[in-house]
Structure 1
């Protein structure tokens, strides 16, 4: 099976903790606060260029981590990933315990393909955050980052490293696509018990994949475990999925 058929949700799952609350004068220089709040309004309206301009003007008055953060959010939404990366790094320099900035920086790095750096920033959030909702979201981010690292290793032909990353992925979250990739890898290496378990988990936690993949690899596992009846049942289920139809039908012909 072509691993390109296993798709991973990219940055859509990365949560930015955007705060657009007004800032009172006593918390920030009044002129900077006025520009900051104006930037927040533009950000909410989707006018990212204008928001960035307001934040930059505010930063000329006061170097405040909140202004850097909102500027980074605007740059990210405008697709200016490198600029957003630099801005979030400046935010962290001013407030090194701000979990939202590490999460946002991790998301930008993920989108840029800097997966190991993304993982480091997401893991930093888990170290410093006291918010369970934030931690749970970041665990999902980590699962997807490790899953992507795993697929990269698959493309490079390093199955053992791929399994290591994919196993790390499911330690953080029950990510269906990671389970499916593990099912395929275990099947290819002849570990059919583990392939069957991974396939069942992929089906149990299915949210982003079709049913065909788990059914197909369950069929392969049962076939090599000598349970022809169960193998046929799984392949018949798998062939209902257009993506796995031909391969499932081929396996069924071999079991006639």
Structure 2
């Protein structure tokens, strides 16, 4: 088996030390292949060594400026450190270099939301769920973004799609409650808040929403 493939298998098993060893061997065997550096960077990032990971991603880009996965991985690190302008640039670069994945569209959308550019985020979040309609969190975040733009009916559809995949997503129920409350459907809103509390009894916002709806019925 190829050393990179072997390393990926070790990563999937959570065996970080053997994964690092396999990727190190892949780099030693083929130092001009950007893939080994990206994979080694992913191991370092997974175990919290982000500064070292960045150097491996940058090395991959030096070898191959079209290494889209390296830009994507850099974007994730910058996002996790709330460097949203930098993460936006990396996700956009990854897209321009040909990374047409639901994850990249999703992360670019989330980054734009963090930059308070929700309307610009919508097409990327939409594309994310189009590419992977079984990603509950993508449907949820797309729904949140729609709701923030006051596209309530469209948001409800996404929250419902989220719940079809993950029936225990308490925040999706909570936000459905908010959406129905916005539409002045107190009965439906109360039902959604109750569902959220059944799943997560300490959901403070759902509890607050329930009290408000009960007063209005």
1:108 alignment partner in structure 2: 111
Runs of 4+ in 1 over 4 A off after TM superposition: 19-25
Question: Equivalent residue of 1:110, what SS?
Answer: helix
Question: Equivalent residue of 1:113, what SS?
Answer: coil
Establish whether residue 133 from structure 1 lines up as the match of residue 124 from structure 2: no
Q: Would you say the 8 A contact 1:166–1:179 is kept in 2?
A: no
Note the residue ranges of structure 1 that are not aligned, 5 or more in a row.
1-18, 150-161, 188-193, 222-256
- Aligned counterpart in structure 2 of residue 201 of structure 1, from 192, 205, 209: 192
Structure 1 residues 180 and 99: alpha-carbon distance in aligned structure 2, compared to 1, 3 A threshold? closer
- Aligned counterpart in structure 1 of residue 158 of structure 2, from 169, 172, 191: 172
Q: Would you say the 8 A contact 2:41–2:53 is kept in 1?
A: yes
1:220 alignment partner in structure 2: 216
Establish whether residue 181 from structure 1 lines up as the match of residue 174 from structure 2: no
Higher Rg: 1
CA-atom RMSD in angstroms: 2.9
How many residue pairs were aligned?
Answer: 179
TM-score (norm 1): 0.60
Which structure exhibits the higher relative contact order, with contacts defined as CA atoms closer than 8 Å and separated by 6 or more residues? 1
Alignment of 1:1-256 (within 5 A): 30-62=32-64, 63-95=66-98, 97-129=100-132, 132-134=133-135, 136-149=136-149, 162=150, 165-174=151-160, 175-187=172-184, 194-206=185-197, 207=200, 208=203, 209-221=205-217
TM-score (norm 2): 0.69
